[in-house]
Structure 1
Amino acid sequence: MQIFSRGKINPEIAHFKGENYMEILANNQQYDHGVANVTFMPGSRTDWHAHHFDQVLLILSGRGWLQIQDQPTQLLQAGDSVAIPADVWHWHGATDDSEFVHIAVGADPNPSATEWGNPVDLV
């Protein structure tokens, strides 16, 4: 069951592998934080990146991966939440066999507040 609209193709598509969508639920012009529903189709994921703000991911459905630099990859699933501190390099995305939907909450949804790095190399 999908709670929020899947939205449109993610505007940062150049920094993602595979098909993913984003629906802005609240932005900084209205509130203190940006809030977005992000849907990753199976196998899709972000490139390595760091936000210049703290970010919280609230997992709504499916299974996905999160890896913080120099740490092992962790499996996330519905009901999990994770806080990623500002300026910490990480990536996240869906497992190969599951859609992955999360709410991303951050202090600044402005794309320039995210620094993008290399694509993720999975073995």
Structure 2
Amino acid sequence: MNRCATAVMLLLMIVMYACGDEEKPPKVVQEQLPDTMFPHDKTIINGNFTGTAWLQMLVPFDTVYNTSIGNVTFHPGARSHWHFHPGGQILLITHGEGYYQEKGATRRVIRAGDVIKCPPHVIHWHGASNDSTLTHVAIGPNTQRGPVVWLQPVTDEEYNSSSR
């Protein structure tokens, strides 16, 4: 055998050995976190939130579907102001932990996998807990009934209270 053939044979033996049934370390697959599924590089600066929150509109309002859908990520401690939606709102919690509260009701802890259906005209707020980010897909149905109505900020006392 010439030197070239010997080198090819040696290379083939190395490849075959590497592909054998020996114990190999598990292949590590890095999963994409739910809150990075959609970009969240657009900081919300409209004055209707306390703390830092990001928005990526997935379906802007149009007259065909009468809905808007946005992906919102809240930094720990960030939250919306009190507000209501004339057409209601649906929140699909996709990552983290936070709070949801309707006016006059007890604050609820919300986590990834939860679905919140807020009826039309019900005053509420939502945001991240102090220790976690929170990401949700916010669906605004029946947008022909009017845009969200923003109210006063959620006070620190309201945010930190687990009672009415």
Normalising by structure 1, we get a TM-score of 0.90
Alignment of 1:61 onto 2:95: yes
Alignment of 1:5 onto 2:39: yes
| C-alpha separation in 1, matches of 2:122 and 2:147 | 13
TM alignment of 1:94-105, pairs within 5 A: 94-105=128-139
Alignment of 1:51 onto 2:67: no
Give, in angstroms, the shift of residue 116 of structure 1: 1.3
TM alignment of 1:1-123, pairs within 5 A: 1=33, 2-12=36-46, 14-29=47-62, 31-107=65-141, 108=143, 113-123=147-157
Equivalent position amino acid for 1:96 in 2: N
Structure 1's consecutive aligned runs of 4 or more residues displaced over 4 angstroms after TM superposition are none
Higher strand content, 1 or 2: 1
Give, in angstroms, the shift of residue 122 of structure 1: 2.9
- 2:19 corresponds to: none
- State which drifts further: 83-92 or 29-38: 29-38
Higher helix content, 1 or 2: 2
Give, in angstroms, the shift of residue 11 of structure 1: 4.8
| C-alpha separation in 1, matches of 2:117 and 2:45 | 23
| C-alpha separation in 1, matches of 2:61 and 2:83 | 21
Point out where structure 1 has 5 or more consecutive residues left out of the alignment.
none
* Matched pairs, number: 121
| C-alpha separation in 1, matches of 2:67 and 2:45 | 19
- Identical-residue share of aligned pairs (%): 34
Point out where structure 2 has 5 or more consecutive residues left out of the alignment.
1-32, 158-164
Whose RCO is larger (CA < 8 A, sep 6+)?
A: 1
